[in-house]
């Protein structure tokens, strides 16, 4: 092995070391160290982000061509770290209030983060699978973190069983691809199918299984059944984490596979993702209408948003891929803001999550109500907020590549979705006020809400900043 | 050659039969015992293939750990498996149809299978060069060199599994008296022992 170069992996190694160190501190200090450890983890993740930024993002694959740090991986890692910091910051106060503040929480989240960061830089089926499992295993534990709640246990066991099933499908797909090409290395797989007149059926079946396994991870319809239950059952701070970060990593993996490795088989995977995109858009928008639980609503909202993101991927152009990354970044900001508000909804010390509880929030707590309204407007894609631009670039990319039907379905779905986003605004501003919330909002949650709303509003003043970031990130996928 | 063919059919036949018995046996303990029989036969198949390391690992890990664990769980927990299985029969037709379709598709796939033209050159670990070493040695040659990153990652996964298992099951119970070794060792006989001389026939 001539490429034994650990430099591109230094951020992950640093995270792993610090995670183990934090665990040691936790073991010695007990659960009262949780709050300090969460803060320390945020600082540590920030340092990791700085480390990641300081490396040269243009390296050949390393460690026997297992991992790569290119423009795409680097940018995705920054988004993942951002989401991790946001969800850790959101967790702190909630864990104390629910009395589930155990010191393992930040540690497991850090390890999930390592898995996700390695996922987006994997260039080998083996490293892909290992990173995916590291991530999934940590997520299963987090879903069950509220041990005394039956719902949480149910959510975790559902997630675990379906997750194991999807991993099985993924592995079966990998084995078929290996059976055809004789390699698990991405570059070799790509050369083994490039220049063929017809992609062999065995390879296509393998690819279908692989994509089905990954579709589960991004909860695209028809592999979405677990999402509402898991989102509802898991502790709210974990739900926030689930909604914000793992989707970004799985999407990064899917983008690298489709746009780079399976590039010679574009026609074949386009059909699959086309179907996934349309189904996710339809289910995501229509099923959310009947929801009364905000966490379930956010679950369907994330399914719908995956539909938009898949449109950007299906078009298989640099513009589409750029739009995907761009949408993901905006989605991270918006979701973090919404969950900052959901986590603040407590009455008499108990968490409430139904939409009816928001009634008349504009009179009880106008600042919270206006922030929520802005985020909901942004999620439904109303200009000039950030969410509008995310959808705009996705649709523009689809129309450029003449995917007119897909763009029309996407537009119609966003009209339907606007109904349930705006219903929340209506409930907050025009319904009879319900009892007041406790209005306890710690510094971290205020900061997350402030940054996310500021981003959503202020985005219009410097749109090219994010857009250039996204476009330069995907440039390494289209060489 | 004849011996090998005979051994293959023996192992494979018993494997299929015992797999069938695992899901049809009424007594769960019998199921687990058939499972162990199945593991032994599949490890025999691996040895026939020349993969003696995997064959032995199969016995050690699956029979030695997994199946024995199953056996313990089955015997310790009083689960009424007959009750659990009730109503499962109504899914049999659907299962057979779906399984049949899948089988048909896979057979169609494998009969029309062809490999990439340059497959021999694609192999990550070339087939040659390992002829004179044993399986174990060959694995050792690549596991800690070419695949060291994946190996370390596997370590992290096991670490998370361990932490997760402790998080989900460990409870701090109040009122549990733990052994405190330092306190035990710091005790001196002078503090806790009193030697009383008792004269005969007087009592204390």
The 10s digit of each residue's pLDDT in B181-194 is 888 888 888 888 88
What is the CA A32 to chain-centroid distance, rounded?
30
User: With an 8 Å Cβ cutoff, is A167 touching chain B?
Assistant: no
SS3 for A313? helix
Question: Is B187 inside any structural domain?
Answer: no
Tally of CB atoms within 10 A around B26? 9
pLDDT score of A1: 53
Under an 8 A CB cutoff, do A183 and B163 touch? no
The 10s digit of each residue's pLDDT in A306-326 is 999 999 999 999 999 999 999
Whether residue B160 contacts residue A137, with contact meaning beta carbons closer than 8 Å, is answered with yes
pLDDT reading at A167 higher than 60? yes
Q: How far is B21 from chain A (nearest CA, A)?
A: 24
- Cα distances (angstroms) measured from residue B173 to each of A97, A146, B116, B176, B192: 21, 17, 61, 6, 29
Question: Is A1 inside any structural domain?
Answer: no
User: With an 8 Å Cβ cutoff, is A180 touching chain B?
Assistant: yes
In B, what residues contact A, Cβ < 8 A? 105, 109, 112-116, 118-120, 122-124, 145-150, 153-154, 156-157, 159-161, 163-164, 166-168
With bands split at pLDDT 50, 70 and 90, how would you rate the model's confidence at B157?
very high
Pick from B113, B116, B160: CB nearest A137: B160
* pLDDT, average across residues A352-362: 88
* pLDDT, average across residues A168-175: 95
Under an 8 A CB cutoff, do A64 and B164 touch? no
Tokens of A398: 């689809």
What is the CA A345 to chain-centroid distance, rounded?
23
* pLDDT, average across residues B18-30: 88
Under an 8 A CB cutoff, do A127 and B148 touch? no
pLDDT score of A455: 94
Domain that holds residue A96: 7-478
pLDDT score of A266: 92
Question: Is B109 inside any structural domain?
Answer: no
User: With an 8 Å Cβ cutoff, is A67 touching chain B?
Assistant: yes
Question: Is B68 inside any structural domain?
Answer: yes
Task: Tell me which of A77-86, B27-36, B40-49 is least confident.
Answer: B27-36
Question: Is B48 inside any structural domain?
Answer: yes
Q: How far is B172 from chain A (nearest CA, A)?
A: 11
Chain A interface test: which of B104, B121, B122 (most A C-beta within 10 Å): B122
Q: Percent helix, strand, coil in chain A (nearest 5)?
A: 80, 0, 20
Residues of B in contact with A185 (CB under 8 A): 124
Question: Is B90 inside any structural domain?
Answer: no
Tokens of A380: 């439904």
Residues of B in contact with A205 (CB under 8 A): 105, 109
Chain B interface test: which of A8, A25, A66, A173 (most B C-beta within 10 Å): A66
Question: Is B186 inside any structural domain?
Answer: no
The two most distant CA atoms of chain A are separated, in Å, by 70
**How far is it, in rounded angstroms, from Cα B174 to Cα A239?**
31
- ipTM for this model: 0.92
Under an 8 A CB cutoff, do B150 and A1 touch? no
Question: Is A2 inside any structural domain?
Answer: no
* pLDDT, average across residues A21-44: 94
With bands split at pLDDT 50, 70 and 90, how would you rate the model's confidence at B156?
very high
Length of chain B: 204
In terms of C-beta density within 10 A (0-12 exposed, 13-18 middle, 19 or more buried), how is residue A125 classed? Answer: buried
The 10s digit of each residue's pLDDT in B88-113 is 778 889 999 999 999 998 899 888 88
pLDDT score of A75: 94
pLDDT reading at A160 higher than 90? yes
Domain that holds residue B55: 1-79
Residues of B in contact with A18 (CB under 8 A): none
Question: Is B151 inside any structural domain?
Answer: yes
Q: How far is A188 from chain B (nearest CA, A)?
A: 7
User: Are B72 and B141 within one domain?
Assistant: no
Question: Is A67 inside any structural domain?
Answer: yes
Phi, psi torsion values for A469, nearest 5 degrees: -55, -45
pLDDT reading at B130 higher than 70? no
pLDDT reading at A410 higher than 60? yes
pLDDT score of B188: 87
- Cα distances (angstroms) measured from residue A135 to each of A42, A56, A332, A335: 18, 26, 18, 20
With bands split at pLDDT 50, 70 and 90, how would you rate the model's confidence at A2?
low
Task: Tell me which of A433-442, B12-21, B57-66 is least confident.
Answer: A433-442
Question: Is B181 inside any structural domain?
Answer: no
Nearest 10 degrees: Cα torsion A201, A203, A207, A209: 70
Q: How far is B145 from chain A (nearest CA, A)?
A: 7
Q: How far is A205 from chain B (nearest CA, A)?
A: 9
Residues of B in contact with A1 (CB under 8 A): 145-146
pLDDT reading at B127 higher than 70? no
pLDDT score of B133: 81
With bands split at pLDDT 50, 70 and 90, how would you rate the model's confidence at A133?
very high
Whole-prediction pTM value?
A: 0.91
Provide the number of structural domains found in chain B: 2
Residues of A in contact with B122 (CB under 8 A): 181-183, 188, 192
Query: Which DSSP string corresponds to A342-382?
Result: HHH-EETTEE--BGGGGTTHHHH-HHHHHHHHHHHHHHHT-
pLDDT reading at A479 higher than 90? no
Pick from A108, A180, A183: CB nearest B123: A183
Provide the number of structural domains found in chain A: 1
The 10s digit of each residue's pLDDT in A272-305 is 999 999 999 999 999 999 899 999 999 999 999 9
Residue contacts between A and B (CB atoms, under 8 Å): 94
């Amino acid at each position: 092995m001539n490429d034994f170069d650990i430099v591109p992996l230094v951020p992950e190694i640093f995270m792993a070391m610090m995670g183990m160190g934090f665990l040691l501190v936790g073991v010695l200090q007990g659960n009262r160290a949780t709050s300090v450890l969460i803060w320390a983890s945020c600082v540590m993740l920030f340092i990791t982000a700085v480390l990641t930024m300081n490396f040269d993002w243009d390296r050949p694959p390393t460690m026997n061509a297992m991992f790569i740090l290119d423009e795409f991986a680097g940018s995705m890692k920054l988004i993942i770290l951002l989401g991790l910091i946001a969800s850790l910051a959101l967790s702190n106060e909630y864990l104390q209030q629910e009395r589930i503040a155990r010191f393992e929480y930040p540690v497991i989240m850090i390890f999930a983060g390592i898995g996700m960061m390695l996922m987006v830089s994997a260039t080998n089926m083996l490293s892909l699978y290992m990173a995916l499992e590291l991530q999934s295993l940590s997520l299963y534990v987090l879903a069950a973190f509220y041990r005394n709640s039956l719902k949480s246990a149910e959510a975790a066991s559902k997630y675990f069983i379906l997750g194991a099933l999807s991993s099985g499908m993924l592995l079966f797909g990998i084995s078929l691809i290996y059976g055809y090409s004789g390699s698990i290395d991405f570059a070799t797989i790509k050369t083994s199918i490039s220049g063929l007149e017809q992609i062999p059926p065995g390879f296509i079946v393998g690819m279908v299984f692989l994509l089905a396994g990954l579709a589960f991870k991004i909860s695209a319809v028809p592999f979405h059944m677990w999402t509402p239950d898991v989102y509802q059952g898991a502790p709210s701070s974990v739900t926030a984490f689930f909604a914000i970060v793992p989707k970004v990593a799985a999407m990064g993996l899917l983008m690298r596979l489709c746009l780079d490795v399976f590039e010679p088989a574009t026609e074949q995977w386009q059909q699959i993702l086309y179907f996934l995109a349309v189904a996710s858009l339809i289910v995501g928008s229509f099923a959310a209408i009947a929801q009364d639980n905000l966490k379930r609503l956010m679950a369907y909202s994330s399914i719908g948003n995956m539909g938009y993101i898949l449109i950007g991927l299906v078009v298989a152009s640099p513009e589409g891929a750029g739009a995907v990354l761009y949408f993901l970044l905006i989605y991270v900001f918006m979701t973090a803001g919404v969950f900052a508000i959901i986590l603040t909804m407590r009455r008499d010390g108990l968490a409430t999550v139904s939409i009816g509880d928001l009634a008349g929030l504009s009179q009880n707590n106008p600042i919270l109500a206006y922030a929520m309204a802005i985020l909901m407007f942004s999620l439904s894609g109303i200009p000039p907020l950030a969410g509008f631009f995310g959808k705009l670039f996705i649709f523009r990319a689809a129309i450029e590549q003449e995917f007119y039907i897909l763009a029309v379905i996407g537009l119609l779905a966003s009209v339907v979705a606007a109904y349930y986003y705006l219903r929340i605004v209506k409930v907050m501003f025009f319904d009879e006020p319900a009892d007041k919330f406790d209005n306890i909002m710690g510094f971290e949650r205020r900061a997350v809400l402030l940054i996310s709303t500021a981003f959503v509003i202020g985005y219009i003043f410097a749109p090219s900043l994010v857009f250039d970031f996204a476009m330069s990130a995907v440039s390494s996928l289209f060489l | 050659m004849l011996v090998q063919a005979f051994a293959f059919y023996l192992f494979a036949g018993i494997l299929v039969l015992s797999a069938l018995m695992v899901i049809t046996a009424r007594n769960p303990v019998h199921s687990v015992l058939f499972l162990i029989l199945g593991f032994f036969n599949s490890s025999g198949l691996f040895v026939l293939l020349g993969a003696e390391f995997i064959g032995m690992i199969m016995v050690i890990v699956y029979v030695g750990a997994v199946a024995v664990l199953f056996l313990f769980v089955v015997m310790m927990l009083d689960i009424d498996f007959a009750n659990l299985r009730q109503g499962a029969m109504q899914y049999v037709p659907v299962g057979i149809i779906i399984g049949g379709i899948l089988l048909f598709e896979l057979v169609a796939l494998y009969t029309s299978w062809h490999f990439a033209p340059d497959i021999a050159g694609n192999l990550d670990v070339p087939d040659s060069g390992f002829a004179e070493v044993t399986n174990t040695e060959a694995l050792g040659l690549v596991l800690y060199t070419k695949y060291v990153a994946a190996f370390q990652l596997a370590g992290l996964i096991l670490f998370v599994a361990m932490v997760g298992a402790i998080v989900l099951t460990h409870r701090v119970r109040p009122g549990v008296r733990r052994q405190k070794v330092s306190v035990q060792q710091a005790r001196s006989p002078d503090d806790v022992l009193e030697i009383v001389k008792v004269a005969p026939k007087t009592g204390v």
